[in-house]
Amino acid sequence: MRISRLCLLLFCPLLCVALHAQSQFDGDFWIPKTEDVKMLYVVGFIDGRSHGINEAADAFNTKIDDPRLSKLASEVTVGQIVDGVDEFYKDWRNRKVILRHAMEYVMDEAQGKDDSKLLLFMRQLDSEPKK
């Protein structure tokens, strides 16, 4: 009993730190990863995003082609996202931009959207010291 409490006291804080840190992945996390790991990460991101779109469609009692949701859908491939994020992080100014923000930027850019103002905002927001 005492050992299980000790494990619980040690495991929970470590799990919380790991989950919090995951949301803070940036270029320093991305760059050293292998191509396979990058592909898996993007597939997970897209899968989660697709699940969210489907959940939103159910919540709105509509289809995913509804204008409120269709802008979330993307025709960009996983390979294009990986290549785009690699290219994105080659610019040293983007190194601290959070990975999920970088992927959104790359997907928008691949679809022809001009996100230059968004890029400046992301650089500023994501480079600020975390409290």
Q: Quick one: pLDDT at residue 27?
A: 96
- DSSP at 49: H
Q: Structure tokens of 92?
A: 């040293």
Q: What is the DSSP string of 1-43?
A: -HHHHHHHHHHHHHHHHHHHHHTT--HHHHTTS-HHHHHHHHH
Q: Are 94 and 27 in contact (CB under 8 A)?
A: yes
List Cβ neighbours of 109 (8 Å cut-off, separation of 6 or more).
84, 115
Q: What confidence tier does 24 reach under pLDDT thresholds 50, 70, 90? A: confident
Domain ranges of the chain: 25-127
Q: Quick one: pLDDT at residue 73?
A: 59
pLDDT digits (tens, 9 = 90+) for 76-99: 888 999 999 999 999 999 999 999
Query: pTM of whole model > 0.85?
Result: no
Average pLDDT rounded to a whole number, residues 18-35? 79
Residue 95: what are its φ and ψ, rounded to 5°?
Answer: -55, -35
Top-confidence residue, 36 or 123: 36
Distance CA 62, CA 73 (A): 14
pLDDT digits (tens, 9 = 90+) for 33-64: 999 999 999 988 888 877 766 676 677 777 65
Residue type, 126: D
Distance CA 129, CA 123 (A): 12
Locate tokens 């619980």: which residue? 8
